[in-house]
């Protein structure tokens, strides 16, 4: 975009700034007030900064080209505004209106000043249109990139929150899983579990899949990888939450869990874990006697045996 009129547009901005501000702020505040977090004072400050950087770029050359280095500061300012609005919950259209809502006030003043010079009016109108369209599209591009980054970060945070590793007892960890296991989530699960094993020196880790809706070959392979990684760190794993339907599915799929201890419930797995670590939980009976400690591990357990 290379058209004449940069210095003239800069003069128009400078001379009519208060008038433009008076029309631009109410429009922007009507949009911003629906989202919250943006005050009228902040909008005025943003407008003043925007006009300042645009005028500096316009005055640097009589040719208006938003893609040149002379507009770096404008692009930086618009990128900051777009990123901030993406985090505040604005839509792409509402963000682009930060730029587009200035077009009509500018056109109105040009029509008054250049009523006797239609050729110059047409040229400057075209210059404003192409310049502001380029700036508006740029805000949309930055907004989409920022929104994608926010979504990715939220997904990562949800993955971390959905894979908590808790210490049930001295030397015993539990990892309750809820939802479907995929490769990305398995990696987070594995990293969280291994780090917790390092931090606590745990010897047993119970992986509870009660909240996993289905177990197919891929999910089973992910579980086996996690078990193998934990073993390399010196910790044995017990898989709990093996419901009848999942047990049948695993058998039909031919998944080999022969070397993995499995139990029907987390409570059953906890009893086995206590036995493996030489610990027991006792409580007062009806006449004060304590029940016996859990029995020793009986080889491979499957589906609540």
Contacts of 21 (CB under 8 A, 6+ apart): 44, 47, 48
What digits encode the pLDDT tens for the residues 196-248? 999 999 999 999 998 888 888 888 888 888 899 999 999 999 999 988 888 88
Cα–Cα distance, 131 to 103 (Å, whole number): 10
- How confident is the model at residue 286, as a pLDDT? 44
| pLDDT of 111 strictly over 60 | yes
Beta strands in the chain (DSSP E): 3-4, 63-64, 166-169, 172-178, 204-211, 236-240, 261-263
- How confident is the model at residue 40, as a pLDDT? 85
The secondary structure of 97-137, three-state, reads HHHHCCHHHHHHHHHHHCCCCHHHHHHHHHHHHHHHHHHHH
What digits encode the pLDDT tens for the residues 169-205? 999 999 998 887 777 777 788 888 999 999 999 999 9
Q: To the nearest whole number, what is the mean pLDDT of the chain?
A: 82
- How confident is the model at residue 123, as a pLDDT? 87
Cα–Cα distance, 164 to 177 (Å, whole number): 8
Question: What is the full DSSP assignment across 2-15?
Answer: -EE-HHHHHHHHHH
Top-confidence residue, 18 or 173: 173
Give the confidence band of 135 by pLDDT, cuts at 50, 70, 90: very high
| pLDDT of 62 strictly over 70 | no
The yes/no answer on whether domain 3-159 falls in CATH 1.20.1300 is no
- How confident is the model at residue 301, as a pLDDT? 40
CATH number for the domain whose boundaries are 166-276: 3.30.750.24
- How confident is the model at residue 4, as a pLDDT? 47
Contacts of 33 (CB under 8 A, 6+ apart): none
pTM, two decimal places: 0.55
- How confident is the model at residue 294, as a pLDDT? 44
Indicate if 166-276 has the same CATH topology as 3-159: no
Cβ atoms of 216 and 246 closer than 8 Å:
no
Let me know how long the chain is: 305
Domain spans of the chain, in order of start: 3-159, 166-276
């Amino acid at each position: 975009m290379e058209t004449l009129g940069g210095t003239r547009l800069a003069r128009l901005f400078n001379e009519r700034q208060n008038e433009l501000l008076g029309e631009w702020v109410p429009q922007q505040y009507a949009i911003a007030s629906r989202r919250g977090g943006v005050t009228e004072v902040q909008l005025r400050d943003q407008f003043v900064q925007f006009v300042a950087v645009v005028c500096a770029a316009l005055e640097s050359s009589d040719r208006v080209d938003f893609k040149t280095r002379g507009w770096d500061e404008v692009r930086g300012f618009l990128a900051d505004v777009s990123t901030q609005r993406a985090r505040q919950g604005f839509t792409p259209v509402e963000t682009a209106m930060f730029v587009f809502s200035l077009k009509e006030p500018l056109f109105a003043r040009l029509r008054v000043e250049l009523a006797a010079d239609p050729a110059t009016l047409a040229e400057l109108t075209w210059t404003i249109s192409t310049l502001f369209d380029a700036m508006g599209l740029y805000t949309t591009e930055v907004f989409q990139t920022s929104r994608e980054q926010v979504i990715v970060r939220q997904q990562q945070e949800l993955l971390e929150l959905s894979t908590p590793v808790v210490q049930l007892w001295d030397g015993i960890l539990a990892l309750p899983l809820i939802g479907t296991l995929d490769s990305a989530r398995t990696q987070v699960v594995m990293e969280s579990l291994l780090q917790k094993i390092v931090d606590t020196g745990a010897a047993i880790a119970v992986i509870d899949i009660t909240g996993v809706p289905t177990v197919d070959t891929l999910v089973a392979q992910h579980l086996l990888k996690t078990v193998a990684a934990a073993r390399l760190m010196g910790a044995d794993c017990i898989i709990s939450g093996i419901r009848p339907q999942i047990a049948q599915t695993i058998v039909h799929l031919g998944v080999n869990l022969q070397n993995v201890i499995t139990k029907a419930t987390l409570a059953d797995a906890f009893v086995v874990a206590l036995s493996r670590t030489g610990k027991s939980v006792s409580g007062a009976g009806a006449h004060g006697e304590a029940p016996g400690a859990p029995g020793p591990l009986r080889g491979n357990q499957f589906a609540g045996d």
